[in-house]
Amino acid sequence: MPVKSYLAHPHEGKKHKLIEALSKFEQCEVVPAQNQDLVIIVTDTESNSEEDHLKEQIEAIDSLKLLAMVSGFNTPKKN
């Protein structure tokens, strides 16, 4: 199960819209920074392909200026 964290930089004045859009994804935990125009996103998906699809959806959000991955790891499923 891939778990990744990102820093999301909104377009100027669009932080609230970005938070609203990101909050619609079940696989995302959204944490707005209190002292910066920045949003922290933690994703938890079932597979690498699901993570890739989610990242594509996030990158398509109009209020998003830049998405930077901070860290990521994949916990293999036990059979």
pLDDT digits (tens, 9 = 90+) for 13-31: 999 999 999 999 999 999 9
Reported confidence tier of residue 65, pLDDT bands at 50, 70, 90 = very high
pLDDT digits (tens, 9 = 90+) for 29-59: 999 999 889 999 999 999 989 999 999 999 9
Distance CA 54, CA 12 (A): 23
Instruction: Give all domains of the chain, ordered by start, each with its CATH number.
Output: 2-68 (3.30.70.920)
Between vectors from CA 34 to CA 29 and to CA 40, what angle results, nearest 5°? 30
Reported confidence tier of residue 74, pLDDT bands at 50, 70, 90 = low
Reported confidence tier of residue 75, pLDDT bands at 50, 70, 90 = low
SS3 68: strand
- pTM, 2 dp: 0.85
